[in-house]
C-alpha cells in the first residue's frame, strides 16, 4: 500500500496570507489527524477527522481549520498567517485495528 502523502512538501508564505495543505491517507484509512511540529513546542495535536467529521480538536486558534472529503483526503487551512506558524505540519492516518497512526513526510511551512 502507498503511504500517507502530503502536498506540498515545502511552502513559503508571507504574514497575513492564508495556506492550504493537503493530505492523502493510506487507502482504507478513514481517520486523518494533523499535528504541528516546532522546535519550541514540539509535536502538538491540531485536529482529527473521521468520516468527514471533526472528531477531536487540539488547543489552536480558529485560524486553523480543516476538512475531510468523502474519499478520506483531508486539507488543513491556516488563515492570516503569523511568523509563529512556521512549522512542520504532519498528517497521520489510521483505521480501527491498526497498530497506530501512520505519518506522512510533512509539509514544511515557512512564514516570512
- Within 76-105, the residues that bind another protein by CB under 8 A are 90, 92, 94, 96-105
CA atoms within 13 A on the CB side of 78: 28
- From CA 88, how far away is CA 11, in angstroms rounded? 10
Identify whether the C-beta of residue 76 lies closer than 8 Å to the C-beta of residue 88: no
User: Phi and psi dihedrals of 50, rounded to 5?
Assistant: -140, 125
Q: Minimum CB separation from another protein for residue 47, in Å?
A: 9
**Of 33, 68, 72, 74, the one binding another protein by CB under 8 A:** 33
Element (H, E) at 55: strand 53-57
Regarding 42 and contact with another protein (CB under 8 A), the answer is yes
CB-wise, 12 or 43, nearer to another protein?
A: 43
3 state SS of 85: helix
Q: Minimum CB separation from another protein for residue 65, in Å?
A: 17
**Of 19, 24, 26, 31, the one binding another protein by CB under 8 A:** 31
Which chain residues interact with another protein by CB under 8 A? 4, 31, 33, 35, 42-45, 48, 55-56, 58, 90, 92, 94, 96-106
Amino acid at each position: 500500500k502507498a503511504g500517507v502523502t502530503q502536498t506540498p512538501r515545502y511552502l513559503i508564505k508571507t504574514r497575513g496570507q492564508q495556506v492550504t495543505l493537503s493530505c492523502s491517507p493510506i487507502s482504507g484509512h478513514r481517520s486523518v489527524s494533523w499535528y504541528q511540529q516546532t522546535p519550541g513546542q514540539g509535536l502538538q495535536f491540531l485536529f482529527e477527522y473521521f468520516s468527514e467529521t471533526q472528531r477531536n480538536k487540539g488547543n489552536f486558534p480558529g485560524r486553523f481549520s480543516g476538512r475531510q472529503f468523502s474519499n478520506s483526503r483531508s486539507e488543513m487551512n491556516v488563515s492570516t498567517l503569523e511568523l509563529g506558524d512556521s512549522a512542520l505540519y504532519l498528517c497521520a492516518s489510521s483505521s480501527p485495528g491498526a497498530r497506530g497512526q501512520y505519518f506522512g513526510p510533512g509539509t514544511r511551512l515557512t512564514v516570512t
